[in-house]
Amino acid sequence: MISETRLNIDIKEYLDNKKSLIDSHLKKTFDPDFYVKPSELWNAIRYSLLNGGKRIRGILCIATYESLIDLCGNNQPKNFEDHITTACAIEIIHAMSLIHDDLPCMDNDDLRRGKPSCHKAFSESTAILAGDAMLGLAIQQIIENTKYISGIQKLKLINLLTKSFSFGLVPGQILDLSVTGKSCNLNFLKEISMLKTAELIKASVICGGIIAIRNQDNDLIENLSSYGLNLGIAFQIVDDILDVTSDTKTLGKTSGKDEKQKKPTYPAIIGIEKSKELSFDLIMKAKSYLQNTDLIKSQILLSIADYITSRVN
């Protein structure tokens, strides 16, 4: 059994560095001199994409890639950036899901990442269309802007990511909306979290594996998948806990909203303490899948797992 990781790695510094890398790559990609008209669309996209966010999904892609490269030996070209491009594509998908999630017909939130939500800053129709365009842009980034990975690797990334939203986020959101204002049991809530939140987190981890290893290692992908899935469910539990225990300023989105909307959440169903225990158990479980591979030597994947339960926003 693996206990909480005590490793001499500065996780905060690592997360900050990789977040800056993703932020600057996205900023360069969506250069206002290049993406100009219609300005309403591109301004809405830049507003929602370049406005912060922890970038944890993109970081997981980069961290998995880097861990595998460390273990397997690095013979990548010096200017290899395909993992960063893919991390950005993942963050584009995530950002579009937040735009749509905030819409009045969905979670109806006026605040996101400490600023008015996209539909508040622009309009509902612009927010919907910006989100639609972003889905295409994410895929286009992988097709056009990855330079070294093979065509097969590109297809695997696209297949994984498109499946994660069509069979994960979207069905998860449908189920989430279907129980709002109603009760549901813990197993059903876990199913929703798995789809709505964990599928994209899982896919982000696997993307790093696909980019690092040209010839697929099914065993490795299975273990990465289980690591990501458990991490993802824990991430949603912590999200639910923070909605109760934190404040709007720290969260950058409206706190206490789940209760107001009568949403079945982990704290609502099993209480805060049991929710915390459950998230810790899932993190332990996630880390145990790394034990099946050489990735157990990856301090960063272990530390990111621990960060999930200690995060404050």
CB of 215 to ligand GRG, least distance (A): 30
Residue 226 found at the interface with ligand GRG (CB under 6 A): no
Which tokens sit at 2? 């693996």
When the beta carbons of 175 and 213 are compared against ligand GRG, the nearer one is: 175
Residue 170 found at the interface with ligand GRG (CB under 6 A): yes
Q: Which of 56, 203, 212, 284 binds ligand GRG (CB under 6 A)?
A: 56
Q: Which of 153, 236, 254, 275 binds ligand GRG (CB under 6 A)?
A: 236
When the beta carbons of 69 and 276 are compared against ligand GRG, the nearer one is: 276
Helix (H) or strand (E) holding 137, with range, is helix 124-145
CB of 93 to ligand GRG, least distance (A): 6
Residue count at the site for ligand GRG (CB under 6 A)? Answer: 21
When the beta carbons of 148 and 167 are compared against ligand GRG, the nearer one is: 167
Residue 100 found at the interface with ligand GRG (CB under 6 A): yes
CB of 102 to ligand GRG, least distance (A): 8
Helix locations, 246-298, DSSP H: 248-251, 257-260, 266-270, 272-291
CA distance 287 to 202: 13
Pairing of strands 111-112, 115-116: antiparallel
CB of 269 to ligand GRG, least distance (A): 17
Residues 248-307 that bind ligand GRG (CB under 6 A): none
CA distances from 299 to 4, 28, 211, 285 (A): 12, 30, 20, 16
Residue 53 found at the interface with ligand GRG (CB under 6 A): yes
Q: Give me the phi and psi of 3, to 5 degrees please.
A: -95, -175
When the beta carbons of 68 and 99 are compared against ligand GRG, the nearer one is: 99
Label residue 8 left, alpha or beta by phi (over 0 means left) and psi (-120 to 50 means alpha): beta
Report whether the peptide linkage leading into residue 77 is cis, meaning its omega lies within 30 degrees of zero.
no
- Looking at the DSSP bridge assignments, the partners of residue 115 are 112
Span interacting with ligand GRG, options 99-107, 178-186, 258-266, 279-287, rule CB under 6 A: 99-107
Residue 164: alpha-carbon gap to chain centroid: 11
Residue (of 303, 96, 310, 312) closest to 200 by Cα position: 96
When the beta carbons of 25 and 196 are compared against ligand GRG, the nearer one is: 196
Span interacting with ligand GRG, options 23-31, 48-56, 117-125, 149-157, rule CB under 6 A: 48-56
Cβ atoms of 208 and 60 closer than 8 Å: yes
CB of 200 to ligand GRG, least distance (A): 8
Q: By Cβ distance, which residue is nearest to ligand GRG?
A: 53
Cβ atoms of 118 and 51 closer than 8 Å: no
Span interacting with ligand GRG, options 40-48, 96-104, 144-152, 179-187, rule CB under 6 A: 96-104
Residue 72: alpha-carbon gap to chain centroid: 26
Q: Which residues bind ligand GRG (CB under 6 A)?
A: 53-54, 56, 93-94, 96-98, 100-101, 106, 113, 135, 165, 169-170, 173, 196-197, 236, 239
